[in-house]
Amino acid sequence: MPREIRRSGHDATSHWFEWAVLWVVVGLLAFGLLSALHDASERAERLAVELTIRNMRTGMQLAMGEALMQQRESEIAAWVGNNPVHWMGSDPAGYRGECSAAESRELPAGAWCFDRDRRELVYRPRHTSHLRVPSADSGDRCNVLGWSVTRVPERMASGAFVGLKLAATADCRWVLGRS
């Protein structure tokens, strides 16, 4: 029986094409996995920041309750502009203490500080690809988040001093889906 003779070029071309397809598929999978990893990292950072702020609010509410029970409500009004980290059991990861306005602008990613000039807590996120100013049509990104201890507005307090709140000073929001 006569055999058909194959040219060596056919095998080389066939293998080259198979390897090219394999590398394209592997590259697309790697890109997808890295993108998902980045999104998961940003979600984790958002949740850590939200939990830290929630813990500060809880600590502040406990301190206000304690002051009210001890009939020291006059002290509470003096807490406006205080560092909310003092109401936590421990400093948040990356906390650098008090800083000036200039130092807060140069804060490294993932760090917190209390800007004593503006009387606000500042955090510089590690990931900013999903942080936006909701009111801006341009979709501007935010690179610093801030919170300050303020009085509850008079209209909410019915004319009497009720308490304090920890309010965001920057109009930045993470536009990631809730997880």
Residue 77's pLDDT band (boundaries 50, 70, 90)? confident
6, part of any domain: no
Gap between the Cα atoms of 4 and 2, Å rounded: 7
Q: Which domain holds residue 100?
A: 14-174
Q: What is the mean pLDDT of residues 101-112?
A: 91
Number of domains composing the chain: 1
* CB of 163 closer than 8 Å to CB of 150: no
pLDDT at 18: 86
Structural domain includes residue 139: yes
Half-sphere exposure of 49 (CA within 13 A, CB side): 26
Residue 1 lies in a domain: no
Q: What percent of the chain has pLDDT over 90?
A: 45
pLDDT confidence of residue 150? 92
pLDDT of 157 strictly over 80: no
Task: Using the predicted structure, report yes or no on whether residue 2 has a pLDDT greater than 70.
Answer: no
Average pLDDT for the chain: 83
pLDDT above 60 (res 156): no
Which of 102, 60, 50 lies closest to 81, judged by CA?
60
90 or 15: which carries more pLDDT confidence?
Answer: 90
Q: Is residue 85 part of a domain?
A: yes
* Whole-structure pTM value: 0.75
> Could you give the 3-state DSSP secondary structure of residue 17?
helix
Supply the pLDDT for residue 8.
Answer: 56
Flag whether 34 is in a domain: yes
The band of 179, judged by pLDDT with boundaries at 50, 70 and 90, is very low
Looking only at the bridges linking them, the beta strands covering 131-132 and 173-174 are antiparallel
Provide the pLDDT for residue 131.
80
As given in the structure block, the two tokens for residue 112 are 């917190």
User: Is residue 121 one of the residues assigned to a domain?
Assistant: yes
Determine the average pLDDT of the residues in 95-114. 92
Confidence at 155, pLDDT banded by 50, 70, 90: low
pLDDT, one tens digit per residue, over 26-49 is: 999 999 998 888 888 888 899 999
